[in-house]
Amino acid sequence: MEKENTAQDEMPLLNVIHLKQYFKVDKKNIIKAVNGITFQIKEGETYGLVGESGSGKTTIGRSIIRIYEPSDGTVYLEGKKISGKMDEEKRRFISKRIQMIFQDPMASLNPRKKVIDIIAQGLDIHEKGLSKEERQKKVYRIMELVGLSKEHANRYPHEFSGGQRQRIGIARAIIINPKLIIADEAISSLDVSIQAQIVNLMKNLQKELGTTYLFIAHDLAIVKYISNHIGVLHLGYLVESGTTEEIFRNPVHPYTKSLLSAIPHPNPKIEKTRKLLDYDFEANQETYEKAREYHLEGEHYVLATEEQFNRWSDEHPAFIY
């Protein structure tokens, strides 16, 4: 338990406590998309949020940046509360410090604007006093940083390939030097060779600028490469969280195991014989409500009922204290 104390001494950049996000469909039905999620991200680190479609991973990102109004829970950024009642000051605080990168770069870039104006959007809002030359200089510098050339500045988004468009999206996000970037499936629609380029770019930018990432994705293999910590989401619950190594070396929750078992390995001899671990969540859905978080080792936590926890402990005697 020593580790926990040291973790508390250091203030996390983002602290999400019991975040809930419900959506009212009609008078009777409420969709509980996010059910009391708690996690922290330290400055300069990457937190990977994984889960299948419908697990609530995108909703969490959007609730933090206040695209949605959270139903319950608190969110702190740099120790300042950013949830609750919204005012102009808070809005500026958030938009200056948190930026987002989206999945489909074509849909998230205005097709009628030139690249230079898309990238400079943040500057136009947050640094109004800039002269035209300074603005241009800043945009060129950022474009170079993300691997685009100056000549690209006066083109339109449709003139670029998918990977280049995502670079534009990244440039737009980093130009105002945000503390946190929420990357929502930022590389899912790209080709393998381009995926690798963008992941490496994001890692290099992190080294250079110290940006913190909340990396939302469904592909655990890619998440492994970029994240320091991973949270596994299922039906709006954080079923397991820990460092990347802890999750990959010792997955405890059956849902995490089934997700890991479903990742295809590029090795035909293994892949043709490997068994898929199926997790029947319909039978287990109810148990999430009664479950609580158990500490396993280091920063490794799992959501379980007492009965489940005892059962899994028997299966993993070495790792559970």
Partner 1 sequence: MTEQKKLLEVKNLSISFQVKNACLHAIRGVGFSLYAGKTLAIVGESGSGKSVSARAIMGILSKNERIDTGHILLYENAKDYFDILSLKKSQIISKVCGNKISMIFQDPMTSLNPTMTIGNQIMEGLKKHQKLRKKDAWEKAVSLLEEVGITQAEKRMKCYPHQLSGGMRQRVVIAIALSCDPDILICDEPTTSLDVTIQAKILNLLIEIQKKKNLSILFITHDFGVVAKIADDVAVMYAGKIVEQGTAEEIFYDPRHPYTRGLLSSVPDLDNMEDKLYSIPGTTPNLLDEVQGEVFAQRNPYALNIDFEKEAPSFQLSETHTVASWLLHEKAPEIEVYPQLTKRIHHMLAVSS
**Closer to partner 1 by Cβ: residue 177 or 197:** 197
Shortest Cβ distance from residue 265 to partner 1 (Å)?
Answer: 6
Concatenate the DSSP letters of all residues of 197-254 into one string.
HHHHHHHHHHHHH--EEEEEES-HHHHHHH-SEEEEEETTEEEEEEEHHHHHH---SH
Shortest Cβ distance from residue 314 to partner 1 (Å)?
Answer: 25
Residues that bind partner 1 (CB under 8 A): 52-53, 161-164, 191-197, 199-200, 203, 218-222, 224-225, 245, 248, 258-259, 261-272, 276, 278-279
**Closer to partner 1 by Cβ: residue 26 or 88:** 26
Which single residue is written with the structure tokens 């929502």?
184
Shortest Cβ distance from residue 198 to partner 1 (Å)?
Answer: 9
**Closer to partner 1 by Cβ: residue 177 or 206:** 206
The neighbouring-strand residues paired with 232 are: 50, 240
Shortest Cβ distance from residue 89 to partner 1 (Å)?
Answer: 39
**Closer to partner 1 by Cβ: residue 66 or 218:** 218
**Closer to partner 1 by Cβ: residue 50 or 82:** 50
- Compute how many other C-beta atoms are within 10 angstroms of the C-beta atom of residue 257: 15
* Segment 188-192 long-range contacts (CB within 8 Å, at least 24 positions apart): 188/103, 188/217, 188/218, 188/219, 189/103, 189/104, 189/105, 189/162, 190/162, 190/163, 190/166, 191/162, 191/163
Shortest Cβ distance from residue 110 to partner 1 (Å)?
Answer: 22
CA distances in angstroms from 29 to 32, 73, 146, 281, listed in the order given: 10, 21, 45, 21
Residue 31 contacts by C-beta under 8 Å, 6 or more apart in sequence? Answer: 22, 23, 24, 25
Shortest Cβ distance from residue 86 to partner 1 (Å)?
Answer: 34
- Taking the alpha carbons of 256, 261, 262, 264 in that order, is the dihedral positive or negative? positive
DSSP β-ladder status, 30-41 and 180-184:
unpaired
Shortest Cβ distance from residue 188 to partner 1 (Å)?
Answer: 10
Inter-residue contact 233 to 31 (CB < 8 Å): no
**Closer to partner 1 by Cβ: residue 274 or 290:** 274
**Closer to partner 1 by Cβ: residue 74 or 261:** 261
